[in-house]
């Protein structure tokens, strides 16, 4: 069955800044309270996840993730209120895209085999 798919992300100077991957990483950090656990759940290396967080923090007006260094009680990570705003807006955009796909069924009718 043919399906219309739309992928959406935000770029800055031609480089991906925010999209499905960073969005999922933020959600996992929110759930786990840990960058390493979030990376593990996403099957990412810690280094790759850390680089994503650094890119998000440096590319935004405010940090999206606060990392706490390990110590006697271990480290941790938490998303900031600014991250919550971005995540909510991105999820609303994704909902709008889903509605657009539902509404744009004319192309699928043309492509449909008789």
Q: Are 62 and 80 in contact (CB under 8 A)?
A: yes
Question: What pLDDT is attached to residue 74?
Answer: 64
Question: What pLDDT is attached to residue 71?
Answer: 58
The pTM is what?
0.85
Closest CA to 49 of 71, 69, 25: 25
Question: What pLDDT is attached to residue 24?
Answer: 97
Question: What pLDDT is attached to residue 103?
Answer: 83
Question: What pLDDT is attached to residue 20?
Answer: 95
Question: What pLDDT is attached to residue 105?
Answer: 74
Residues in the chain where the model's pLDDT stays below 70: 70-74, 113-114
């Amino acid at each position: 069955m043919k399906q219309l798919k739309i992928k959406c992300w935000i770029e800055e100077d031609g480089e991906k800044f925010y999209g499905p991957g960073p969005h999922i990483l933020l959600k996992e950090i929110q759930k786990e309270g840990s960058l390493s656990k979030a990376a593990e759940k996403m099957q990412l290396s810690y280094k790759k996840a850390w680089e994503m967080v650094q890119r998000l923090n440096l590319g935004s007006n405010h940090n999206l993730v606060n990392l706490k260094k390990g110590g006697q009680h271990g480290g941790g990570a938490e998303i900031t209120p600014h991250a919550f705003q971005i995540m909510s807006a991105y999820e609303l955009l994704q909902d709008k895209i889903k509605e657009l796909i539902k509404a744009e069924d004319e192309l699928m009718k043309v492509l449909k085999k008789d």
